[in-house]
Amino acid sequence: MLDRVQVYFEDALRFFEESIKEFEEGVRENNPYKIRDSAEKAWNAVVQATNALILKFSGKLPSSHWERRRMLRELETRVSEIAKLMFRDRYGARERHLHEMVFYEGNIDVEDVRYELERVKAYLDDVGRALEMAQRPS
């Protein structure tokens, strides 16, 4: 199971790297499609990192966004250190802003997208720390 957790988290990091590259290209070229695609890649980074987090702590893999939110709620209820990081709220915020507003609706404010990408980076950093925390002996 550890290998699958690592694969999901490494995918998250790679999708985030690609989202940054595509965002920078989109801004430089004034290409809204690249900016929208960068938002979707960043959103997928959040999804993959969340999969890693949930799999690590529960041994289960969610099959939908709804199930991820439910499993994050359950995880936050059981693990106080995870609750403090508010992953469920942050997951929902990235879903709304990146996936729905930017990618699907095409609402592009370059500075807002840049801000959201920073939030994704913080989310990934926190997931990485949580995964490390889970590996340490009690």
What is the CATH architecture assignment of 2-135?
Answer: Up-down Bundle (1.20)
Q: For all residues of the chain together, what is the average pLDDT?
A: 95
Q: In this predicted model, what pLDDT tens digit does every residue of 96-116 receive, in sequence order?
A: 999 999 999 999 999 999 999
How many Å apart are CA 123 and CA 1, to the nearest integer?
A: 22
* Per-residue pLDDT band at 73 (split at 50, 70, 90): very high
Q: What is the mean pLDDT of residues 78-98?
A: 96
Residues 91, 16 contacting (CB under 8 angstroms): no
Q: In this predicted model, what pLDDT tens digit does every residue of 20-53 receive, in sequence order?
A: 999 999 999 999 999 999 999 999 999 999 999 9
Is residue 43 classed exposed, middle or buried when 0-12, 13-18 and 19+ CB atoms within 10 A define those classes? buried
